[in-house]
Structure formats: C-alpha cells, structure tokens
Amino acid sequence: MRNFFLAVVFSLFYLNSEAQLTSQNSSEIILNLKKLNTLGSVLYIAAHPDDENTRLLAYLAKERKLKTAYLSLTRGDGGQNLVGKEQGDALGLIRTQELLAARKIDGAEQFFTRANDFGFSKNPEETFKIWNKDSILEDVVWAIRKFKPDVIICRFPATGEGGHGHHTASAILALEAFDAAADSSRFPQQLSYTQTWKAKRIFWNTFNFGGTNTTSPDQLKIDVGVYNPLLGKGYGEIASESRSMHKSQGFGSARSRGASLEYFKWLKGDSAKTDLFTGIDQTWNRVFSGEKINELIQGCIKKFDPSAPELILPDLITVYRQIQNLNSDDAGINFWKQHKLKETAELIICCAGVWVESSLTDFTAIPGNTIAVNTQIIKRNNCNAKILKINYLNQTDSVLSLALKTNELYNLRHTEKLNISFPFSNPYWLNQKHEVSRFIVKNPLLIGKPENEPALKVLVDVEIDGLDLQLERGIIYKFTDPVKGEVYRPVEILPPVTINISEKIFVFADAKEKNIQLVVKANAPGVKGIVQLKVTEGWAVEIKKPEFFIAGKGEEIIIEAIIKPGKTNSNGKLEAAVTIGEQSFSKSIKRIEYDHIPFQFILSEAEATLVKVNLKKTGTHIGYIPGAGDDVPACLKQIGYVVTTLNDDLLSHEDLSKYDAIITGIRAYNTNERLQLHYKKLMEYIHEGGNLIVQYNTNNRIGPVGSKIGPYPFTISRDRVTDENAEVKILKPENKIFTTPNLITAKDFEGWVQERGIYFASEIDKNYETLLAMNDANEKPLEGSLIVGKYGKGNFAYTGLVFFRELPAGVSGAYRLLVNLLSMPSNK
C-alpha cells in the first residue's frame, strides 16, 4: 500500500509538469515508440538557467531516448536582464519560463532547488555561507531520489575551473548528493514520500570555452552532432533553438551542423570508458517479466503506418495492460511502471487522434464567483472512442457516455462556483517572503517543481477500444490576437481587487511631503470599497478620497494620498489595503509580458519603503540615455530631478547644454549601436561644461562595446567586487566628488545590496583619476570601480558601482554619491 501511495505521488508530479498534452505527428509518434522501449535516465546538474549543455540534453533525450532532466540549483534571479528592467524575483520568473521553453525544444525535464541566485560569487565557500549548504544539498538529494537517474552529469568541476562560485558549488553538491541519496540516514524525512536511490556513476562534462580547456584525449567522448531524420535536424540545430530561448541573457545561438564531440571525466561510482551507460541495462530486461513488453513494442514500431497511426492501437493497448500487470512491490520497477504507463497512455491518445482542451471565457477568476468552462473534444482518427464522464474542480461529475464521431468537434459547457477559500495564483516559491539565501516552500512536495500546476483542472474519463484512461487537463484561456493569431495564457485566480502603490520606495531628501498614487484595479464587476493606508509611527499619511466604486471588471481608479516624513531620520514603511464589506485585500500585482514566454505575474503585499536621505543637490535637469533597462531615472525623479529620456532624435537635434548632467543606462553602449554616432556631440557637451556619467557596460561576446565611450581611452574588464560589505577606501577624500555637495565617508557604503560593483575599468589613461579601492576577501585591491577625467570645462565618469541595484533598494549612500557625480563642478 505504501509503495502504491508513493507511486501515485510521483506520477502526479510528473503528469502535472506539462500543462497541456499536445498532438503528436507521425514522426514524433515513432520517436516516442522507440523511447517507450528505452528504460534509462540521466540527470544533468548545474547552477543557473543557461548553464546547461542543450546539445547534450537534446542528444540524450531524443537520440538515446533516455529520460533526461536538468537540475538548475537557482532560477537566475541575480543575473542581468537584456530584455527589460526586471531584477530579482521577477527576473527569476522570466528565466524559469525561458528554461521551460528550452526544455520543450530539447526534450528534457526541468527541476530546481530552493537556492536563490544572490549574484556573482567568487568561491563556493561564500556561496555555501549564504545558501546554507545542507539546505540545498537536501534539495539535490530530493531531486535524485525522485528522478532516480542511472547516471548523473555535472556541467562544472568541484575544483573551480567553472569560475563562478555557484558553478563550483553545484559540482560539490552533486558529488555529495550522489552518496547521500543512497543513505537512509541522510534527510530521512524525505523517505515518507520516496525511496533512497543509488545512481550508477557520476561524470563531469568537461568543456573548452572562455579560454579554459578542460578536455583531454583520454576522456570518454561521444559525438552528439548526429542527424536525426525523424526530426529533420541535427542536435546542433536543436541545441541552438533551445539555447536561444535564454533571451534575457542574450544567448541567441547560430545553428551548427556536423560532428561535435562532448567529453566526460568519470568522478564516482562504477567506472566507464566507452559510454555513459556501460553496464546499465536500458531495455525492458531490467524489469522482471519485461521481455514480452519489448517484443510488443518492437511489433508496434514495425507495424506503424504514418498515414494511419490508429492501426497499432490494439497492440499499444496490449502493451499498456502488460505494463499494468507488472509487480509494484519493488520501488525501482514501480518507478518505471508508472512512467511507462504515462508514456503509453499518451501514445494511445495520440494514435487515436483524441484531442481535449478546457478553457474559460476570461483569464481571471475570483474565489466565490461562478466560472464557465468550455471543454472541446475531437477524435480525428478511425477508432472507437467514448467520453465516459468529466470530473470538474469541485468533484462534480458530468456523466456522458458520449461516443465520439470521427472529426466532429464537441463543445461541452459547464458552470461552477469557485470555493470562497480557493487560493490565489502565485509562483509557489514566492508565496512567502524570503531571505537572500533561499526561497521558503512549506509544502515539501512542491520543492523542485519548475512552476505551479494549472490553477484549475478537469479530469476526462475516456474509453478507447475498450481501454479506460483518465486525461487530466489544465483549464486555460485563449484568445485571437490580430497579429499573433491564437494566443494561450494561464488562468489566474485573483482577489476581487488589487492595489498597487506607484513606487516600491519613496525617498525623502527633505521635510517636504510627497504626493503618491495608488492604482486600484477591479478583477470583478461592481467593486465598492475603501482604501486604507498604514505608516510607521512618526510618519503621517492622508488619503484625499478613500471611498471608491469601480463598475467594470478590469477597470481601475487612481487614489491620491499625501505622505509626510517623520521628524527623525528613521526610515518607515507604507502598507495599503482595500476593505470590501468585512473583507480586507492587500495584494499588489506585477505583470510580466514578453512574447517568448507565457504571461506571468507576481502577487505580493502592497507595501513600500519610506527612506530618509540627508541629501543636498545642485542642478535640476538631467538627461538619461537608455540602455538595457534600469530604474535609475525614476529614482532620480524621487529626489527632485527633472529627467528627460534622450532618444536618438533628441541626441541628434537637441542642444544638450540645457542639461546639468547626462547619465547613461546600464549597458547603453552594448545595446545602442547609434551611440557611436553621437560620440562627438557628447564629447563637445563635456568640453563645454557638462557632466557625463556612464554606468557599467560589458565587453564580451554578448555585449561588445561598439563605440568609444570617454574622452580618453580605457578598457572595460571583468573585474568586480561581489561582497556588498567589502571595505571601500576613498583614495582622494579631498576630491570634490567626496565633498560637494555631500560629504561622502565610509558610512555611505554601508547597507549596500548584492554587490559593490561589476565590470570595472582597466588599462586606464593617465588623464583619469581612480578614486575608490575595494576588493573581495584574499584579493588585491581594485581601483577601477569609479574613474573620473576632466575634459575642457566638464567632466566624464565611468562607474561599475551598481547604482542600478542600490537606488531602487533605497540605499542612502548610493543616492548621495550619485548626486555628487551629477554635481561635479565645471573646470576653469
């Protein structure tokens, strides 16, 4: 009984990892028939989205037909973003969906741990100190015990050649988990849901990139560049399509064709010199009484007619029943039994041409309200198929016994009231506030899942040629876009109203009050309520008109309020809520919409931080040249600057002398190739008395600098300081940048977040001054985080200091230092 329960738990996890079963063409059916006859599994482990070897994953999943998965320790929350301004949790959500899009192409599954990507780490010691090593090791063990890989492959070594501390940490954890997963004394609480597992061996997939070659002729090697005629592509082509889904990281890749060797170094377990699976039976012979199943599947493959897939249905149904009859007492056999039953059921559905989809007429639903579900069903091949019943979300059975006619579309409509206590939709790992180290997930069965299961589901009982199957379908919403065509989006369970505060942080540089706006949006028609605001003691808030009524669903109203800063220098907190009758709703919503991923959103508490900064400033008008995207302009407006976005037209035709200073967005010289055309004009602006501040740029394959930047030469390096608490030495405290208009001291570098700076200047011309020195532990001081040079009457500055992170986080010292840079006095 216990084994049966465990099998069901794992089966549901696996089934729900895909939101909707799609149709398969005949090439995919024959490929999956061959996969049905393969019983082998491999788990690839690394640290981040985009670390995985997509060519190898595609080869293992589609050529070797192995059950293949990628375990990424993090969701990439601490990375950079080439497609927008999202950082932190929002960026992690984007990169999660990019990974899932990549897996749909290369055929592997996707898992995660609870580790938060806190930014670049130079060594595994720092990484484990922040993550808490045992917590993440527990998650890696959990993934191994559930997925039960025969072989584990690390992307990086445990000896540091991977560069990033997270990379090295991923290998260390993989090696420890290889043993721990087989030890019942390690993380025994997991054994209530799964069993111990001993993989056969673990390899390091060695590499030759980034100037580091770790391959050697004596290593095990495999040609993964082969061509698959069923797919019409080689694995280099599939890999490029998969890797190109990492758009936020600028990983668009060209298709490659022809032989391509991958190298592997054995690390632990049984040795192997010629193949990853040496000595591992990958056939039905590894399952007791499985020989007959192998013969039956081979018969299906020989008999398969691409123009009439339904002809093998009797044979497939026999295969299904043979697998059903396998002994479930052995955990290893039961694992493959459940997995192969799912694969066989999918093949039966596809060969029968049965297609089922359930949708709503709106993408939002409110607990306590009624929803209308439309289920469409069609049978497109010649076979006997009958819909027995449909089970809806509140266990409401609609008994049909509907015999399906070939190629006739059925529309079945059902209305149901959502339970008032139905939970709101939200990425499960973001339901609880988390620290910098890792996410908090209270339900252990959710750990590792790439995303939420569909919020709403239907279960369809179908009979095909006498075999009863149950299809689980997530309820979706779809609409027709005049440009994109048919578009799908997940159904969202939302509160009747959300309230968004106009900013996440309000910065007060003086005692003046601030006018703020709150956007109240109705997710249901006829919403009448009262807005309530709460602030930290000592601060004051006044709502001009708290009562509101919103007639239409999807409409919104702006509520205005005034915040008065406290008399002390203490920071504060603003909390917002909406009262409707006796209920209070305090959720804000952040939407993320890009064409390459499904619609995403995050629900969080409606609150903002109130920051007091002892700040003086000179000048008012700032020009901002956009880069890859940051919130620096909004932060400057908070402290009283008038900020104008300088697009190409303004840079070409406007008199720049009207601006007291110009600042470029992060990676502006990487993303805007036309800046080279404006170089001369920007230098003239400086020469005549202006200040140009350039935030960090990169100088690599993803972000080459296509233009001169400053009046004198310098190079952009990969130097960085990742410890946000690293000591900062002011090299020339008498410099105006540290005295005017604000006195900058070591105190201004307290409370920084994630890191000090990235992509520092190097090979610096003598006309520049280096003003700061800083370093991570056990490293030499770096002086390229801030360089300033006089040019004519004005000044140029390049800085790798991460103002784009610190200002939105409300770090007062970052505001004070940036204001001083913007206020650099003219030269005589």
Residue 351 CB burial class (10 angstroms; 0-12, 13-18, ≥19): buried
Query: Sorting pLDDT into bands at 50, 70 and 90, what band is 394?
Result: low
H/E stretch holding 557 reads: strand 556-564
Rounded to an integer, the average pLDDT of 202-224 is 93
Rounded to an integer, the average pLDDT of 414-422 is 92
Helix (H/G/I), strand (E/B), else coil: 725: coil
- Answer whether residue 11 shows pLDDT above 70: no
pLDDT of residue 399: 80
Query: Sorting pLDDT into bands at 50, 70 and 90, what band is 705?
Result: low
pLDDT of residue 620: 94
Q: Nearest to residue 223, comparing CAs of 233, 236, 213, 239?
A: 236
Cβ–Cβ under 8 Å, residues 606 and 576: yes
Rounded to an integer, the average pLDDT of 503-509 is 93
Which residues lie closer than 8 Å to 546 by C-beta, 6 or more apart? 530, 531, 532, 559
The predicted-structure confidence for 35-49, as pLDDT tens digits, reads as follows: 999 999 999 999 999
pLDDT of residue 648: 94
CA distance 614 to 813: 9
- Residue-averaged pLDDT of the chain: 93
- Answer whether residue 397 shows pLDDT above 80: no
pLDDT of residue 152: 98
The sign one gets for the Cα dihedral 325, 331, 332, 334 is positive
Cβ–Cβ under 8 Å, residues 595 and 558: no
- Answer whether residue 205 shows pLDDT above 70: yes
Alpha carbon 334 to chain centroid, angstroms: 33
Query: Sorting pLDDT into bands at 50, 70 and 90, what band is 276?
Result: very high
pLDDT of residue 17: 31
CB atoms within 10 A of CB 313: 22
pLDDT of residue 8: 32
Query: Sorting pLDDT into bands at 50, 70 and 90, what band is 332?
Result: confident
Alpha carbon 188 to chain centroid, angstroms: 30
Amino acid, single-letter form, for residue 147: F
Query: Sorting pLDDT into bands at 50, 70 and 90, what band is 702?
Result: very low
Cβ–Cβ under 8 Å, residues 152 and 204: no
In whole angstroms, how far apart are CA 269 and each of 46, 199, 517? Answer: 19, 8, 61
pTM given for the model: 0.89
CA distance 533 to 701: 48
C-alpha dihedral (505, 506, 510, 512), degrees to nearest 10: -170
Hey, what are 162's tokens? 């991977």
The predicted-structure confidence for 176-189, as pLDDT tens digits, reads as follows: 999 999 999 999 99
Alpha carbon 133 to chain centroid, angstroms: 22
The upper half-sphere exposure of residue 78, i.e. CA atoms within 13 Å in the direction of its Cβ, equals 22
Which range (15-24, 121-130, 475-484) has the least confidence? Answer: 15-24
pLDDT of residue 761: 96
Query: 444 versus 210: which is more confidently predicted?
Result: 444
Residue matched to tokens 């799908």: 488
Alpha carbon 497 to chain centroid, angstroms: 27
Query: Sorting pLDDT into bands at 50, 70 and 90, what band is 20?
Result: very low
Query: Sorting pLDDT into bands at 50, 70 and 90, what band is 198?
Result: very high
- Answer whether residue 10 shows pLDDT above 70: no
Residue matched to tokens 């005034």: 562
